[in-house]
A = this chain, B = another copy of it.
Amino acid sequence: MKRIKLIVAYDGTNYCGWQIQPNGVTIEEVLNKELTRLLKEDIKVIGASRTDSGVHSLGNVAVFDTDTKIPAEKIAYALNVSLPEDIVIQESCEVESNFHPRFTNSIKTYEYRILSCTFPKPESRFTTHFYYGHLDIEKMRAAGRYLVGKHNFKSFCSPKTEVLDTVREIYALEVKKEEDIIKIRVSGNGFLYNMVRIIAGTLLEVGMGKYPPEKIPDILKKENRSAAGPTAPAKGLTMIGIKYIDN
């Protein structure tokens, strides 16, 4: 028996997120089905980031155990043959049998993309959130700086969460503009339910001038979801990748 790690990229537009659920097709379900068929074993993957419906990925991570004789590196090639074209394995390799993609220390990186121009661009309609008004990027950057570090992010977490400890550490938060797209790229040791989308929604309000960047420490201090901005739409969010840290 060996444990295999997959790096999974997907366009989340046509999926009800990562995690198996009764109504609608999910990434986890498709992977289980295609791996079970390929390896002729009952496979159940464990995912690192349980992304929401409509969220995309370039580097989500999943693991599963198998007795297959197919070399670990070849599983990506074999699996991609039968996967739909909106899910593509980027890499497969063997890992320690006790490696857990969610409970191992890691740096996770997400990117939220805002299309900022007068009219939407058809090419990026599934991977960006369109906003036509003026956005002050310098103010968004200033607001982002207050979020870097170890904080209680309860104000930036959906009340639907089941997690009790809402302290997380953000290592970096970068706001940059490439042509018409503002990219908010954030790295941290972990993210709460909807946290990146609430950060994006809050930075959007700062960019619009609804309140100054200096309000961010107050929002954090309130430890109340209603203090932060709205949850920005799922389609603007992409799971960029996960770097595991050796203990």
Contacts and interface: CB of A to CB of B under 8 A. Distances in A.
A157 to B, nearest CB: 27
Contact of A123 (B56, B80, B120, B125): B56
Given A86-B125, A125-B85, A125-B86, A76 B9 contact: no
Interface in A1-60: 9-11, 56, 58
B119 A80 contact: yes
Secondary structure of the A contact surface, majority rule: mixed
Given A11-B125, A125-B11, A119 B76 contact: yes
State how many copies of this chain the complex holds: 2
A71 to B, nearest CB: 16
A200 interface: no
A232 interface: no
26 contacts: A9-B121, A9-B123, A10-B122, A11-B122, A11-B123, A11-B125, A56-B123, A58-B121, A58-B123, A76-B119, A80-B119, A85-B120, A85-B125, A86-B122, A86-B125, A87-B122, A88-B119, A88-B120, A88-B122, A89-B119, A90-B118, A90-B119, A91-B118, A91-B119, A123-B127, A123-B238
Interface of A: 9-11, 56, 58, 76, 80, 85-91, 118-123, 125, 127, 238
